[in-house]
Amino acid sequence: MSMAAFSEPTLSQWLAMGGYGFYVWSSVGSVLAALVAERVAVAWQRKQRLAALREAREAAEDARAAQAEWPRPGGGETRP
């Protein structure tokens, strides 16, 4: 047996995975892509939740401010 059989595999040989490259790299790639996508989805969900909370907080503060202004000097008799 020649010494070439014991030499380090080249990058292309390693990527080929002995002819199973499609199956191996598809498996690894799909798992890694799904993990990253899940993490991004959770971060996006958090962003949405915080935006909704800020909006609700601002609406509540606006309502409180409008309530504090009432009754206006010389204003109408009934609340809107």
Cβ atoms of residues 25 and 15 within 8 Å: yes
- DSSP H helices in 2-20: 11-16
- 59 makes contact with other proteins (CB under 8 A): no
Nearer to other proteins by Cβ, of 29 and 71: the residue is 29
Q: Quote the DSSP letter at residue 80.
A: -
Cβ atoms of residues 24 and 17 within 8 Å: yes
Of 28-36, 63-71, 72-80, the segment contacting other proteins by CB under 8 A is 28-36
Of 15-23, 63-71, 72-80, the segment contacting other proteins by CB under 8 A is 15-23
Enumerate binding residues for other proteins (CB under 8 A): 14, 17-20, 23-24, 26-28, 30-31, 34-35, 38-39, 42-43, 45-46, 49-50, 52-54, 56-58
